[in-house]
Amino acid sequence: MTDAALDPAARAFLDRIASGNRPPTSALPVDEARRQFAQLQKRAGSAPPDGVTAEDMTVPGGDGPRRARLYRPEAATGDRPLLLWLHGGGWMLGDLDTHDVPCRWIAKGYGGPVLSLAYRRAPEDPFPAALHDAEAAYAWAVQTQGAAAVGGDSAGGNLTAALCLLLRDHKRPPPVHQALVYPSLDATLAGDSHRAHAEGRFLEEADVLFFLEQYATGHGVSVLDPLLSPLQADTLAGLPPATVVIAGHDPLADDGRRWVARLTAEGVPARLVEHPGLIHGFLHMTGLIPAADAALRALGEEIGRDVGR
């Protein structure tokens, strides 16, 4: 685990949050929690990049069509496969609009098309609805594009890893790459970072438990189910090569570290990119934290570099 100092701008952001006496997400009605999450991007996010087009569309989901948004950079790099992006937000807060600016930056750096999926959200549609939507959208991407990569941030990183396991175990065409940004990968909350950064780092351990309850554990899903806790899978052999990006001051940091360590030990190429001074959710704090802005601008390039290997 890193002991690097918290980025000063991240510290200032956390101090503003603390001074505002922000209520815990668990105390808010779902609609209000979603509204506040959307406001975060508007207040703390950066402006979108030039040179990226966006097209709203529908794609197949697990229980009917789902909304999606296709991003294309005007300056495409080579023949990049489509990157299916699964947004974060605790499986319940995020949507196409909260992740519009990050997806534009990812597409610009990646140099290829990025498809953001509006999967079904908890608590209205708990586990495994979001995963089934991701599975159907991925099948569409492979059918129409020939090959696809998959990625996501936070809860979307969880869905990315679970989708890779599901596809492998069902002997379906695998993604050419998996890209996980500060993912949640173990509902048992193993890992020292869960205790070292349990409070005061924007995402708190209480939030992690609440999101898990709304999505799965409150609906009878075992924390040992690999499709909820991919790190509980017996083996990770046969999964796609991975790029894993983490923040040093994040209760989920060790999830990403353990994923890379296990993939590497089991013969899967994997690379860890750590931003030691940053906190969970930094993709949405780019207008206030210069290091977060630099990390987002580099993210698509990091993924594209690994996909191209």
* Residues known to be catalytic: 154, 250, 280
pLDDT of amino acid 14: 95
For residues 184 and 156, the answer to whether their CB atoms sit within 8 Å is: no
Q: What are the average pLDDT values for consecutive 10-residue runs of the chain, which has 309 residues?
A: 79 91 88 94 92 98 98 88 98 98 97 97 98 98 96 98 98 97 97 93 93 98 98 98 98 98 98 98 97 97 87
Characterize the bridge pairing of strands 270-279 and 114-117.
Answer: unpaired
Predicted TM-score (pTM) of the model is 0.96
Whole-angstrom distance, CA of residue 10 vs CA of residue 15: 9
Give the model's pLDDT for residue 265. 98
Give the separation between CA 146 and CA 131, rounded to whole angstroms. Answer: 21
